[in-house]
A and B are shown apart, each in its own frame.
Chain A
Amino acid sequence: MTTYLNKLWGGARLAALEQLTYRFNLFSDVAIQPLIVAAVELTLWLAFFQSTGRSELAGFSQDHYLAYAIWAAFVARISANWMYEWNMIDSVETGAVNAVLVRPISFYSFWLGQFLGYKLLTSSFSLAVPLLVCWAMKLPVQIERLPLALLLVVFYLIFVHTIAVIMASMAFFFNRVHHVTVAKNITLWMLGGEFFPLDILPENLREFMIALPFSSAVFRPVGYLTGRLTTEQLGEGFVSIAIGQVILGSLAFVLWRAGRRRYSGTGA
């Protein structure tokens, strides 16, 4: 176990060093981009409350929605996986995966270590921004709930990584899986609840969307942090991800093995 964790830690350090090479890019990634997203979403919610003259929506005030918009922009960036999924697919397509296959670590763990390391680095910087903004704007955030909310995000990252392995395994069988990955990520983006809290959806759709593990990308952790959800509802997120992980983990395992059998070692 310790050896395995050391390997993961090695991957995490590698990712952190890579990211720190271009610090302005890192700064843009962790602060500037999510700030712009948050600003665009804030204006929409402000316009909504000003136009309607309402003081609340679905039982929550304007400030609750502003806090949600700010946190959602940052948490959504943490819980998304674009770069490493593309790298994984590329490695299968080009044959660069050979370098991983000969190492004493699985493909899954090699990339998981890097992915988590990258997310650890970016989130440790970027989470300071919504904290400061919410503090300055006096928005309702239950800060004591942050550790549990972040734990759910970490749990979700492992789940998202499993999906990325499925996509990379598909590269053994199909050309240009990148386009499918874009479609998949936009779908997850929509299901995650970055645009709006999922509990303002029509009732039948709301229950279905929240029950999916993808709601743990944004809605569950941010909803919990901003007081929309109870600890029990957050716990349901862990269960939902665990079920998803078992199903998709099995699929990833089968696809990877089948892909390896087809693979000639010179790129897919």
Chain B
Amino acid sequence: MSNPATDTLTHRWSTRVVHEVRDLAKHFALVGAFARVSLMSELEYRFNFAVRIFTDVIWYMAQLSVFEVLFRHTDSLSGWTLETMRVFMGVLFLTDSIYMMLFSENLDRLSDRIRRGDLDLLLVKPVSSQWMLSFQKISVAYFGNFIISAVWLGWSLMQVPGFDWWRLLWLLICVPCGVIVVYAIRFSTASTALYFTKADAINYIWYQLYRLGTRPDTVYPKFLRYAVLSVLPIAFLASVPAQVILNRTGSEMVLWGIALAAMMLAVSSFIWKTGLKRYASASS
């Protein structure tokens, strides 16, 4: 015999789940729509496609040149050989290209939009404002960078003796975690425009902190290493994923990465929601 109270609770719960799933589907459908619009808009300026890829290839070369030159004078650097360092760079480029594709342009403009009071129209829409702001412009041009990065990573892994290719599957977990962590830190720093009149300085500092993630965490002194693995987990951008696929760290680091990604996302959402209470529309 069924209990009416339990039935009501179950019904409420299932309705809620269905509602949440529909809501999530709506949000993802929105990303698809944004991607289509972004593609159409970018096709107007095809030259940009080439220039952006060219720019990033130069940036990749600049990053690679540091280690290529250093490894001419040594065989090992804090436990990394030239071959494994190339893998690290490959993972860095891959994660970076995904971040650039999805979030870079949106988050780079976020502070300005807040300062100019451009959020009004967005805040009245029946979707999460954080979601809208984060995905509004998908930089499709960076897909070219993604392909280049993937090819570089594949080539560099072929140089690693006895590499177990099945370990690449770890990237399916580690790379999204890295992207989420970077996104959350960047979103949080950009959201400080809700609290301060001009947050440019904090944004510029972010670019410098990002550089910490472009080097393996093992080159850092102990205190900085702890920092990039916990408080400011920028090591999850490339260092941790690279070590996971190279079998230099255990699965506990993957679990830690997942937990950190969830925590950082929650923190960014908290900073955003709290800051929105101060948003004065005309300008913050």
Contacts and interface: CB of A to CB of B under 8 A. Distances in A.
A37 B219 contact: no
Interface residues of B, number: 39
Contacts of B255: none
Given A22-B198, A187-B58, A201-B69, A175 B74 contact: no
Interface stretch (B89-97, B170-178, B199-207): B199-207
B61 interface: yes
Interface residues of A, number: 38
B65 to A, nearest CB: 6
A44 B216 CA distance: 10
Contacts, number: 104
A51 B74 contact: yes
A57 B71 CA distance: 12
Contacts of A24: 201
Q: Which of B51, B65, B198, B208 has the most CB of A within 10 A?
A: B208
Nearest to A27: B201
Interface string B210-236: 011001001111001000000000000
B166 interface: no
Nearest to B201: A28
B262 to A, nearest CB: 27
Nearest to B50: A179
Nearest to A28: B201
B224 A43 contact: yes
Q: Which of A186, A196, A201 has the most CB of B within 10 A?
A: A186
Contact of A176 (B48, B69, B207, B209): B48
B200 A22 contact: yes
Contact of B47 (A32, A43, A176, A186): A176
Given A25-B200, A29-B201, A179-B52, A189 B215 contact: no
Given A186-B58, A200-B69, A51 B77 contact: yes
Contact of B51 (A179, A189, A190, A196): A179
B211 A40 contact: yes
Contact of B208 (A36, A50, A54): A36
Nearest to A32: B205
Contacts of A200: 69, 72-73
A195 B55 contact: no
Q: Which of A22, A50, A195 has the most CB of B within 10 A?
A: A195
Interface of A: 22, 24-25, 27-29, 32-33, 36-37, 40, 43-44, 46-48, 50-52, 54, 57-58, 174-176, 179-180, 182-183, 186-187, 189-190, 195-196, 200-202
Contacts of A27: 201
Given A22-B198, A51-B76, A176-B48, A37 B208 contact: yes
Contacts of A57: 73
A46 B219 CA distance: 8
Given A22-B200, A48-B70, A190-B65, A180 B51 contact: yes
A50 B52 CA distance: 38
Nearest to A196: B69
Q: Which of A32, A33, A40, A187 has the most CB of B within 10 A?
A: A40
A35 to B, nearest CB: 9
Contacts of B209: 36
B66 A48 contact: no
Given A175-B45, A176-B45, A195-B66, A29 B219 contact: no
A58 B72 CA distance: 11
28 contacts: A32-B201, A33-B207, A36-B205, A36-B211, A37-B211, A40-B208, A40-B215, A43-B215, A43-B219, A46-B221, A47-B220, A51-B77, A51-B79, A52-B73, A52-B77, A57-B73, A58-B73, A175-B47, A176-B47, A176-B51, A179-B48, A182-B55, A183-B58, A186-B58, A190-B58, A195-B62, A196-B69, A200-B69
